[in-house]
Structure 1
């Protein structure tokens, strides 16, 4: 069965299951099931030229590089052609995290914890092989690495499932083993390479950016692109740090310390070092940060994880930003300021790029409508996301940093708002 890469990349057949999980266990399943409430644009219906079959990692069990349930992880590879035959784009699938034995046990019964539930994937947006939709990367070797560990491809541990079987937290081994296999399939001869991802996969791209760069000779152009992965460590409306609490569970349950920056670990708790604001301080590879400063997922799950607070009703506002009162918009503007302030490191780095729009959405590169279409979000000189990323990657512009004004200033965001 084919799947779409939906924000945050929970395929169609899992959406109903995800809804059941969030009803049964709303706190610890929050990030796994968040897509059920996302109104981000959905990719176009699949066509045969877009579908790419699943390849299971060879010798996965012998390498200990397995999904939560012990099955081999998988990836989808579409070969490049023409001028892109020696260029590689690697996309890390997203889909939240699991931070407890219970949430990981539930996750292993989905395609986010087992390859038993994976199928072919529909390549759209930055993954498309259509020149009109994806002019800069359409003919590159394109890979989607499936996400089945629950810790942004970062953990290395194991634990006990609720039913007495093992849970395998092997995201780091999956990352290493799949990249090794791709190198053996021609990526070692790459002339240009781009590591990217969406949501939790975008966080993974930041975690592994320098490691990916280090796999190639110095003369190879290697860069990274983070799409909707700039999660911030912000208090929610009740004053609690629910996001930090959840991430702390991921960090300690799955043992992610090996991928965290040493400079940060010497000064701060590993949980803080897992957040992008700390990660970008140590990344030396040129990186492009694409994010909404009114990210719909973060507003719904970090800022306002509950629908109601004393004297405040947020269900309608967080479902559709057009329903927000002036007072609520002031709160959202504060969230934007916090996010932009944490991007200062990237803003000051001449080799980095920024496209921070004010659209109420989450994940924009895997979808034709947001990546490159007549109604894509546009900033500054009216560049689309595709144009901005391409200009940055190929050094076609000197200044590749753009930060949008406050909502609702950008009329190109209107087509992305929920309609119901």
Structure 2
């Protein structure tokens, strides 16, 4: 009976995920049919030296989100849903196209992304390095992609279950580190905590300690708050009561604990600020402006530039909320 219940549960989860993917395929994040034809390049993609002091003159390419698994899906067979998950092949096709357009002769290259793109950056970082000349300076910058395998406020392992289903549905295991996938359940190797243990290319991590997406989807998903007692806190950290702040501090502690090994990485950089936000590298207000978040009086752009050009490799960790008055906190109330 226990096995039967487990089987039904798995099928329900797979069905929910498939329905979610189908819904996404009808929106800009799931199909090029619905994407904007032009997108603004700001923050790290900006051509304005005042906004992007170190990388304004670089050639820049934005790879659009479309596959739902950080360009890592590659199932062995079709799933009968009419949906095709080929993120790994999309990644390879894009890279070969860029190499033919001049990337193959690059002297300096930085692979970056935020959110699912930040996770994609970590997954493909070493692969990106292999595509480029051996004498090129190649590094990777992951913004808000350090997703945690934490329990929600009711004790449910929401993100772990979701990752397990994504790996199964999209055949992601083949894109993950082989030794890791042989040592533990493959879905666990999709979490950045495990990924960064095996990356050889220099990596910089930008992550808010109170990542709004993770707060709303991992720590306090809608289903874990049926009485809406967390509603205001989920929308604005300034509306949290002391007990809720204590829970958020625990989430921050989990992030720092997950990063403890990376702090020993001599080539790695880090900017962990105490802001209630998600992606920070692609917006001028958070990347580099007079009102940008700072740690030790350094903006994210200055910290990343110092790291990339070996001027100063820092691992900056902010003091806990509410000490940082430079934060660009989101407020959805």
Aligned to 2:9: none
Tell me, yes or no, if the aligned pair for 1:151 and 1:171 is still in contact at 8 Å.
yes
State the distance in 2 between where 1:300 and 1:176 align.
32
**Structure with the bigger percentage of helix:** 2
Aligned to 1:401: 315
Tell me, yes or no, if the aligned pair for 2:152 and 2:221 is still in contact at 8 Å.
yes
Aligned to 1:251: 167
Tell me, yes or no, if the aligned pair for 1:99 and 1:253 is still in contact at 8 Å.
no
Greater shift, 195-204 or 110-119, is seen at 110-119
Equivalence map 1:294-309=2 (5 Å): 294-306=210-222, 309=225
Per-residue deviation, 1:309: 4.2
State the distance in 2 between where 1:206 and 1:259 align.
11
Is 1:136 matched up with 2:51?
Answer: no
Paired residue for 1:282, among 186, 191, 198? 198
State the distance in 1 between where 2:115 and 2:80 align.
27
Q: Structure 1-normalised TM-score?
A: 0.73
C-alpha distance after superposition, 1:70-121 (max 9, x if no partner): xxxxxxxxxxxxxxxxxxxxxxxxxxxx972211111111122221112111
Aligned to 1:387: 302
Paired residue for 2:24, among 86, 96, 107? 107
Which secondary structure state, in structure 2, belongs to the residue aligned with residue 328 of structure 1?
Answer: helix
Paired residue for 2:179, among 258, 263, 268? 263
Root-mean-square deviation (Å): 1.8
State the distance in 2 between where 1:197 and 1:160 align.
31
Equivalence map 1:223-238=2 (5 Å): 223-238=139-154
Which secondary structure state, in structure 2, belongs to the residue aligned with residue 175 of structure 1?
Answer: helix
Per-residue deviation, 1:203: 0.1
Which secondary structure state, in structure 1, belongs to the residue aligned with residue 198 of structure 2?
Answer: coil
State the distance in 2 between where 1:307 and 1:167 align.
27
Aligned to 2:73: 155
Per-residue deviation, 1:250: 0.7
Unaligned runs of 5+ in 1: 1-26, 29-97
Unaligned runs of 5+ in 2: 1-11
C-alpha distance after superposition, 1:211-261 (max 9, x if no partner): 000111221000000000000000001110111111111110000111111
Q: Structure 2-normalised TM-score?
A: 0.92
Change (3 A) 1:122 1:311: closer
Aligned to 2:207: 291
Per-residue deviation, 1:312: 7.8
Change (3 A) 1:213 1:107: same
State the distance in 1 between where 2:20 and 2:227 align.
32
Which secondary structure state, in structure 2, belongs to the residue aligned with residue 418 of structure 1?
Answer: coil
Aligned to 1:95: none
**Structure with the bigger percentage of strand:** 1
Aligned to 1:116: 33
Tell me, yes or no, if the aligned pair for 2:235 and 2:332 is still in contact at 8 Å.
no
Aligned length: 318
Q: Which runs of 4+ in 1 moved over 6 A?
A: none
